[in-house]
Structure 1
Amino acid sequence: MTDGGTRRPWPDTAVVRSAQAGDEASISVLIEGAHPNVRRFAASLCMSEQDAEDATQEALVILYRKIGTLRATGALASWMFTIVRNECVRRWALSRRHVLVEVTDLPLRASSSAEETALAGIEARLVAAAIAGLPPDQRQVLLLRDVHGYSGRSVAKHLGLSLPAMKSRLHRARAALRAGLEEAV
């Protein structure tokens, strides 16, 4: 169901009205017609292709279940984009929670003594605490860029920033992290 990169118009008002009234054929036409637009938007917001596909499917399921609650037929695109954006943000937040867990569970480097093992564990916890102590905007950019390893362009796009703004925020996050770690030691 891909659209080959070309923009498709949203289904017309008559189809939306019929779908709102419960007409199954119109609901099918509506979902099929909305899919390329929803998928393109999800691909532009989500951090991975899998998340984009999942967000698209979730949005289309919500469209199917709740089309009758849409008040204005002209608001379909806005409604769908809001659903997709919320789903991409939800998926990103879930992955961010996993990253914080992963940071605290980082494998410790090989050590020759119990003392070194204990110190390495303390270091990992200090880093995790310092990251958790960053302001949310700095923590987001640091985790996406330095922990997840996403490209600068992907991080900027996901956060709705220009590339220079993302780089500036990342620089501030790294400086704050460094300062926080120096304080802790």
Structure 2
Amino acid sequence: MNDDVSLVDAEDATLVVRAADGDVRAFEVLARRHGPLLRVFAAKMLRSNDESDDVVQESFLIGWRQLNDLETPARFRPWMMQIVTRKALDRIRSRRHHDDVDTVDPPASAVHSPERIVEARLQLDAVWQALDKLPDDQRRCWLLREASGYSYQEIAEALELPVSTVRGLLARARRFLLQEMEAWR
């Protein structure tokens, strides 16, 4: 029991080192400590609580398997945020390839004509195509800022980048997306 109490009070770096040595309880404490934040983050990116739980669970499995690759044990949370980000982006990418009109055919409302729906989907596809052209760091920064509402500081911490770099990446991403989406104005 004393060991459990000391683990709960231990710093992330200590828990990571113990978990890397095979201490399952230390990793459980890390998962309990950071799991709620990672779930909220994933849910904001995915807009789905069900999918966010899956993404976080997959991310923790990857984190457990790759724990020895973490160079700075005190940076466990940002490292896990990167894993969750990659998994969520994979999930988002896989979604758009599986839209099936035959399975979902709600009646069109008078306000939203079929033409408007098609136009909106084409525009969304154009946004995804433009996002796919961005370098990884710019895409991650843009998604964290625009889709998840992260502050510059939160993005910097999650991606382990200086705030000034985040500002530059976001500026370049926005400029590029404006150019790419010019035809949709």
TM-score scaled by length of structure 2: 0.55
The match for 2:30 among 39, 54, 76 is: 39
2:64 pairs with 1:81: no
Q: Give SS of 2:8's match.
A: coil
Taking CA–CA contacts closer than 8 Å with sequence separation of 6 or more, which of the two structures ends up with the larger relative contact order? 2
Partner of 2:117: 117
2:86 pairs with 1:93: yes
Q: CA deviation at 1:138?
A: 1.0
Give me the whole-angstrom Cα distance separating, in 1, the residues matched to 2:179 and 2:157: 28
Give me the whole-angstrom Cα distance separating, in 1, the residues matched to 2:62 and 2:131: 33
Contact 2:82–2:158 (CA under 8 A) maintained in structure 1:
no
User: Considering only CA atoms, is the larger Rg found in Structure 1 or Structure 2?
Assistant: 1
Contact 2:138–2:172 (CA under 8 A) maintained in structure 1:
yes
Give percent identity, aligned residues only: 21
Partner of 1:179: 179
Q: Give SS of 1:161's match.
A: coil
Unmatched segments (≥5 aa) in structure 1: 20-26, 64-77
Q: CA deviation at 1:179?
A: 0.7
Give me the whole-angstrom Cα distance separating, in 1, the residues matched to 2:27 and 2:110: 50
Q: Give SS of 1:95's match.
A: helix
Give me the whole-angstrom Cα distance separating, in 2, the residues matched to 1:139 and 1:110: 36
| Structure 1 residue identity aligned to 2:121 | G
| Structure 2 residue identity aligned to 1:93 | R
Partner of 1:72: none
Partner of 1:137: 137
Give me the whole-angstrom Cα distance separating, in 2, the residues matched to 1:169 and 1:57: 27
Q: Give SS of 1:48's match.
A: helix
Contact 1:141–1:169 (CA under 8 A) maintained in structure 2:
yes
Partner of 2:8: 2
Give me the whole-angstrom Cα distance separating, in 2, the residues matched to 1:56 and 1:179: 39
Task: Please tell me the root mean square deviation across aligned C-alpha atoms, in Å.
Answer: 4.5
Q: Give SS of 2:70's match.
A: helix
Unmatched segments (≥5 aa) in structure 2: 1-6, 40-55, 100-108
Q: CA deviation at 1:117?
A: 2.2
Q: CA deviation at 1:8?
A: 5.1
Contact 2:145–2:152 (CA under 8 A) maintained in structure 1:
yes
TM-score scaled by length of structure 1: 0.55
Q: Which runs of structure 2 are paired with 1:43-82 in the superposition (5 Å)?
A: 43=34, 48-50=37-39, 51=56, 55=60, 59=64, 62=65, 79=68, 81=70
